[in-house]
Amino acid sequence: MKRKLFLSIALSLIVLVIALKYYTDYVTNSAVREYEKKYVAEFNDTHLTEAQSEYDLNPKFKERLIDKFDKNFYDSIVKVDTYDNVLIYSIIVSNKWNYSEASLNVFMALAGLDKKNSSTSLPEIDFLDEESRKMALHYLEKASDKEHPNAKYILGKYYLEGKYLAKNATLGNSLLQEAKKLSGGILE
């Protein structure tokens, strides 16, 4: 009898602990979701908040990124989204408006298809097929030509190592020096 009582109390305690864990997880996740909503509304650019308030975002994107270029709107979108989700807009903005940040974002989106590249300053693009690799390098060079320091740094490293491009130490070192100068010495 005591054994049954003990087992029933133990089982009840286990169920209670599990229920409390699920409840605290639920409350925590709800609080995190609410905080994220508040954070985006309070701290993000007003352009993004304005865009998110629209039910149909496509006309807003078309108006601000294709018909005319709103740099702040584009930068706001990139800040809160992944490269993958803004790839198409980055391609359009890079091609139509020649914005260096968008060109670099195209390269990073393609490189980011391999998750190991998310934690490195020199992305590996071996996994891409030849055409996709050429496209990625095209956008990297385009960003570099428009004086983007990170693009110059990556391109300089590729030239120094002879990786994806013909080895050219002179050009590689020159690009690295330009990147260092443009970044105020941050990129070395």
pLDDT exceeding 70 applies to what percent of the chain? 76
- For residue 155, the model assigns a pLDDT of 96
> What are the domain boundaries of the chain?
1-44, 47-183
CA angle 76, 81, 84 (to 5 degrees): 125
pTM greater than 0.75 (yes/no): no
* Burial group, residue 104, by CB count within 10 angstroms (0-12, 13-18, 19+): buried
Average pLDDT over every residue of 167-175 = 95
Place 42 in a pLDDT band, splitting at 50, 70 and 90: low
d(CA 113, CA 127): 9
- For residue 61, the model assigns a pLDDT of 77
pLDDT surpassing 50 at residue 54: no
pLDDT surpassing 60 at residue 185: yes
Predicted confidence (pLDDT) per residue in 121-134, tens digit: 899 999 999 999 99
- For residue 55, the model assigns a pLDDT of 44
Predicted confidence (pLDDT) per residue in 69-118, tens digit: 989 888 888 887 766 678 888 999 999 999 999 999 999 999 988 888 77
The helix (H) or strand (E) run that includes residue 155 is helix 149-161
- The contacts of residue 188 (CB under 8 Å, 6+ apart) are 176, 180
Q: Which CATH class is domain 47-183?
A: mainly alpha
Joined tokens for residue 156: 């300089």
Select the more confidently predicted residue: 66 or 30: 66
Place 53 in a pLDDT band, splitting at 50, 70 and 90: low
